[in-house]
Amino acid sequence: MKKIFYSLLFCPGLLLAQEIDQAAIAKIRKEGMENSKVAEIAHQLTDVSGPRLTNSPGFQRAAEWSVSELKKWGLQNSRIEDWGEFGKGWQVEKSYLAMTKPYYMPFIAIPKAWTSGTAGPIKGEVVVVNIQNEEDLKKYADGKLSGKIVLVKGPADTDPTFKPDAVRYTTEDLDKMTNSQPFGPSNFTPEQAERMRTMRSFRSRVDSTMKAQKVSLELAGRAGKHGTFFTSNGASYKGDAPLAGPAFEMAPEHAGLVARLVESGIPVTLEAESQTSFFDKKLTTGNVIAEIPGTDPKLKDEIVMLGGHLDSWHSATGATDNAAGCTVMLEAVRILQASGLKPRRTIRIALWSGEEQGLHGSRNYVKNTFGDPQTMKLMPAHEKLSAYYNIDNGTGRIRGIYLQGNEGPRAIFEKWLAPFTDIIDHPTVTSRNTGGTDHQSFDALGLPGFQFIQDGIEYGSRTHHTNADTYERLVMDDLKQMAVVVASFVYNTAQLDQKIPRKELPKAKTAASVGR
């Protein structure tokens, strides 16, 4: 092991000496910038396919269209490859929520994912509950909420915004990313990550309490501003999970309106109707997979992968999260095919399912294909992968790449970014990791997995998991730039004499850590 690892550390100098095929890069640029199909691809994945919760009809439409299109472009082995059991699909069939007293006002709201419908229109006076901790929960354990429309009041920052929603990294931001922040497990501090876990767990217990109390309808204001709100799930998608009662998420401004009226002694009457469908005849699901076969007899069995997650949340059409990434990756392989390039290694694209519920598609693909990160029992294919490249940070253009703590390829990637300084301002290579995206499934098994640095644009403020994540939020020129850069990285990786350098293999998980 040690001998192999140290030999890899000395590869970068050899790889760096290998010249870039400038003619190939020129072909990639020309095809990607002059004949781009990103607008058409994005339209199909968002407007035509619709919301894409895993195992929903929308996800299936997007997956089948992608397989068909990849075949048309000439890729081989284009298919939906099952990885195992996910659970139930779900979609909204009808959604309506409005205040009728003290006056009429339609509300911005949508059912929580995997919740039941209302079984027809309902109407009633609202009870507002303020549940911030376990003691608050105990106050509502006596059945007093049974049959009520209940608004669970929550904290929401609805103050004016004095910063722009859409932002790009400055040179100072990128320098700080490179020089001041070391590699870590995610963009979140341990304290922030723990707060997020606690919040999710507590929110789940609140939902369970509402169900146990047999409320007529649960309402929850979510974080967001100006009519935008961040959505989530209200029940389990597992095949054997019990059905949850009807529940809506709503814009914080409308939740705040109801709460203020009720708390000032003014009764509020709401009317609502939701119809939802569950899809549980087939609980397994898969990823979209296709290949451009390698042409070098000695290297064609080795693989270069690129991908992004195809599933989305349900309150919009999942444009920046993550139709953008899938659009870029589809366009990248289309560019390579249309340019007539003949990669030495096989190039494999993957569009993942179940990412939003825990990287399920990529984690199971890695486990089924390369090895088990829990036991570190590796399969022969583990030695055949050179690298995996991922896009999942919105519509913003590429500004560089995260090394995920793997310093071996730094000089190589810096060389590959150099020809694009006209379309990448201040190209940056950082040791850091960008958080919970599918490249981490590869990294967990010691495989080189990378996410590109992207401008944030409106990702955190407007689009990520929100009811505003639609086609209009995509910046087509940024998608073009990304597709060209990704295609060049993938092609350069396929042409190298050696594979991309790796980190030392992770250790197998102990029995105690596996159970956490």
Name the more confident of 156 and 468: 468
Give the CA distances from residue 493 to residues 198, 405, 450, in Å, rounded to whole numbers and listed in that order. Answer: 41, 19, 13
How many C-beta atoms surround the C-beta of residue 510 within 10 A?
A: 10
* The token pair that represents 363 in the structure block: 């984690």
Name the more confident of 60 and 213: 60
Percent of the chain with pLDDT over 70: 91
Note the pLDDT of residue 460: 86
| Strand 346-352 versus strand 105-106 pairing type | unpaired
135-139, 228-232, 341-345, range with greatest mean pLDDT: 341-345
Name the more confident of 182 and 10: 182
For residue 510, name the pLDDT band (cuts at 50, 70, 90): low
Note the pLDDT of residue 197: 65
Note the pLDDT of residue 10: 45
Mean per-residue pLDDT for 360-381?
A: 98
Residue 10 CA, chain-centre distance (Å), reads: 34
Cα 317 to Cα 321: distance, rounded to the nearest angstrom: 9
Has residue 2 got a pLDDT over 70?
A: no
Q: Letter for the amino acid at 175? A: D
Note the pLDDT of residue 199: 64
- Going by C-alpha positions, the residue among 420, 402, 433 that lies closest to residue 480 is 420
Note the pLDDT of residue 56: 98
What is the three-class DSSP state of 284? strand
Mean per-residue pLDDT for 264-272?
A: 98
* Residues 394 and 435 sit within 8 Å (Cβ to Cβ): no
Instruction: List own/partner pairs for 130-137 with CB under 8 A and 24 or more apart.
Output: 131/206, 131/209, 133/202, 137/205, 137/206, 137/209
Cα 88 to Cα 285: distance, rounded to the nearest angstrom: 10
For residue 192, name the pLDDT band (cuts at 50, 70, 90): low
* Residues 87 and 283 sit within 8 Å (Cβ to Cβ): yes
* pLDDT tens digits, one per residue of 380-423: 999 999 999 999 999 999 999 999 999 999 999 999 999 999 99
Helix (H) or strand (E) holding 364: helix 360-369
Q: What is the separation, in whole angstroms, between the first and last Cα of the chain? A: 28
Mean per-residue pLDDT for 258-270?
A: 97
Q: Which of 65-79, 215-229, 295-309, 407-421 has the lowest mean pLDDT?
A: 215-229
Mean per-residue pLDDT for 113-138?
A: 88
* pLDDT tens digits, one per residue of 141-160: 677 788 899 999 877 788 88
Has residue 12 got a pLDDT over 80?
A: no
Note the pLDDT of residue 7: 38
Q: Which of 118-132, 142-156, 359-373 has the lowest mean pLDDT?
A: 142-156
226 Cβ contact partners less than 8 Å away, ≥ 6 residues apart: 161, 253
Note the pLDDT of residue 161: 87
* The token pair that represents 355 in the structure block: 């990412």
Note the pLDDT of residue 1: 41
Note the pLDDT of residue 171: 95
Cα 231 to Cα 251: distance, rounded to the nearest angstrom: 10
Rg (CA), the chain: 24
140 Cβ contact partners less than 8 Å away, ≥ 6 residues apart: 129, 131, 209, 213
Has residue 512 got a pLDDT over 90?
A: no
What are the helix and strand counts (H, E) for the chain? Answer: 15, 18
Note the pLDDT of residue 87: 97
Instruction: List own/partner pairs for 256-259 with CB under 8 A and 24 or more apart.
Output: 256/156, 256/158, 256/221, 257/99, 257/105, 258/99, 258/126, 258/128, 258/151, 258/219, 259/128, 259/151, 259/153, 259/221
- For the chain, the average pLDDT equals 90
* The token pair that represents 228 in the structure block: 């935008």
Has residue 447 got a pLDDT over 90?
A: yes
* Residues 273 and 118 sit within 8 Å (Cβ to Cβ): yes
Burial class (CB in 10 A: 0-12, 13-18, 19+), 203: middle
* Residues 516 and 57 sit within 8 Å (Cβ to Cβ): no
Mean per-residue pLDDT for 374-379?
A: 97
Has residue 9 got a pLDDT over 70?
A: no
* pLDDT tens digits, one per residue of 288-301: 999 999 999 999 99
Note the pLDDT of residue 8: 43
Note the pLDDT of residue 480: 98
* pLDDT tens digits, one per residue of 315-355: 999 999 999 999 999 999 999 999 999 999 999 999 999 99
Q: DSSP for 215-227, please give it.
A: -SEEEEE-S-STT
Give the CA distances from residue 339 to residues 23, 24, 234, 489, in Å, rounded to whole numbers and listed in that order. Answer: 11, 8, 46, 15
CA atoms within 13 A on the CB side of 508: 8
87 Cβ contact partners less than 8 Å away, ≥ 6 residues apart: 55, 236, 237, 238, 239, 241, 280, 283
What predicted TM-score, i.e. pTM, was given to this entire model? 0.92
Note the pLDDT of residue 180: 55
Note the pLDDT of residue 132: 73
How many C-beta atoms surround the C-beta of residue 296 within 10 A?
A: 16
What is the three-class DSSP state of 5? helix
Note the pLDDT of residue 16: 73
- Going by C-alpha positions, the residue among 313, 205, 250 that lies closest to residue 107 is 250
Note the pLDDT of residue 196: 59
How many C-beta atoms surround the C-beta of residue 157 within 10 A?
A: 9
- Going by C-alpha positions, the residue among 368, 276, 352 that lies closest to residue 314 is 276
Has residue 17 got a pLDDT over 80?
A: no
Q: Which of 185-194, 214-223, 313-322, 347-356 has the lowest mean pLDDT?
A: 185-194
* pLDDT tens digits, one per residue of 22-31: 999 999 999 9
Note the pLDDT of residue 172: 93
Note the pLDDT of residue 511: 47
Q: b/e per residue, 364-391, with b = 16+ CB within 10 A?
A: bbbbebbbbbeebebeebbebbbbbbbb
Note the pLDDT of residue 154: 77
* pLDDT tens digits, one per residue of 93-114: 999 999 999 999 999 999 999 9
